[in-house]
């Protein structure tokens, strides 16, 4: 499976971490596309030096838009399986093997990483509470009995990636993917993964208040479909 896979990594001002992330990922999956979403630092240069294909948005559009760009590119290159991974160093590359083995064992169309089934290092209590609320909302909104949500680790088969269309450019895209999995009748499974929270990743990540903005984006999208 890994031989015909691509990894899509959205990145915005991740020059501090992207080289190490790519080094660990390339040891498992050499085909990587980094979508530089309007960075003002050396993210693209570091990614190119580390051997990744780099696509650039001239301005910052959002992580959802970056993933959509990367997924379409990987499909054009013939990818049969597409992994998604964050660029801030929170995810272990070894999780790609866990996602892959779960897909093979379950025959799922999409495998979602779950830090609840796995473990977290350094997660603040406030973030843990927000995650529980997000999971409860996602279950209510999609009907999917997930244990985690808004986790950047995913594995999509080619058929699933061709059918899922990300229209939410920013962080609401993660909930949009789940809604589409449900509405399209795609088979899904969860795989236990480890997420490392560091001072850097917490500073780069969403504030807890951003969850309310995501909720508003989703409600707006559902009303304007």
Span 154-167, mean pLDDT?
98
What is the extent of the structural domain holding 209? Answer: 2-223
Confidence band for 54, pLDDT divided at 50, 70 and 90: very high
pTM higher than 0.85: yes
Contact indicator for 6, 32 with CB cutoff of 8 Å: yes
Q: Concatenated DSSP letters for the chain?
A: -GGGEEEEEEESS-TTTHHHHHHHHHTT---EEEEEES-SSSHHHHHHHTT-EEEEESS---HHHHHHHHHHHHHHTT-SEEEE--SSS-B-TTHHHHHHHHHHHH--SEEEEEEEEEEEES--HHHHHHHHHHHHHHHHHH----S--S-S-EEEEHHHHHH------STTHHHHHHHHHHHTT--EEEEEEEEE--HHHHHHS--TTHHHHHHHHHHHHHH--
Q: Which two three-digit tokens encode residue 35?
A: 């979508």
Span 185-214, mean pLDDT?
72
At 75 the pLDDT is 98
At 16 the pLDDT is 93
Contact indicator for 195, 88 with CB cutoff of 8 Å: no
Partners of 81 in beta bridges: 5, 157
Q: Residues with Cβ < 8 Å from 35, sequence gap 6 or more?
A: 8, 9, 10, 11, 54, 55, 56, 57, 66, 67, 69, 70
CATH of the domain at 73: 3.90.550.10
pLDDT at 210 exceeding the cut of 60: no
Span 42-65, mean pLDDT?
97
Angle at 47 between CA 46 and CA 52, to 5 degrees: 150
Q: Which two three-digit tokens encode residue 225?
A: 């479909």
Lowest mean pLDDT among 80-89, 122-131, 160-169, 207-216: 207-216
pLDDT at 225 exceeding the cut of 90: no
Task: Give the neighbor-by-neighbor strand order of the sheet with 188-196.
Answer: 53-57, 32-37, 5-11, 81-84, 154-157, 110-121, 188-196
The per-residue pLDDT for range 98-149, each reduced to its tens digit, is 999 999 999 999 999 999 999 888 677 767 777 777 777 777 778 899 999 8
Q: Domain tally for the chain?
A: 1
Rounded to whole angstroms, the Cα distance separating 34 from 23 reads: 13
């Amino acid at each position: 499976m890994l031989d015909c896979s691509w990894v899509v990594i959205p990145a915005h001002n991740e020059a501090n971490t992207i080289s190490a992330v790519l080094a660990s990922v390339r040891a498992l999956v050499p085909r990587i596309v980094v979508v530089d979403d309007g960075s003002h630092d050396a993210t693209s240069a570091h990614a190119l030096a580390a051997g990744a294909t780099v696509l650039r948005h001239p301005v910052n559009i959002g992580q959802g838009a970056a993933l959509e760009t990367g997924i379409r590119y990987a499909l054009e290159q013939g990818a049969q399986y597409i992994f998604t991974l964050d660029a801030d160093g929170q995810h272990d590359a070894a999780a790609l093997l866990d996602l892959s083995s779960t897909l093979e064992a379950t025959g799922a169309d999409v495998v979602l990483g779950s830090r609840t089934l796995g473990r977290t290092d350094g997660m603040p209590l406030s973030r843990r509470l927000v995650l529980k609320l997000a999971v409860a909302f996602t279950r209510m909104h999609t009907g999917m009995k997930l244990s985690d949500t808004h986790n950047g680790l995913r594995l999509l088969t080619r058929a699933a990636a061709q059918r899922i269309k990300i229209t939410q450019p920013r962080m609401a895209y993660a909930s949009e993917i789940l809604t589409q999995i449900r509405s399209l009748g795609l088979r899904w499974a969860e795989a236990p993964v480890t997420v490392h929270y560091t001072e850097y990743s917490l500073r780069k990540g969403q504030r807890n208040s951003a969850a309310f903005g995501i909720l508003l984006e989703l409600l707006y999208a559902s009303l304007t479909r």
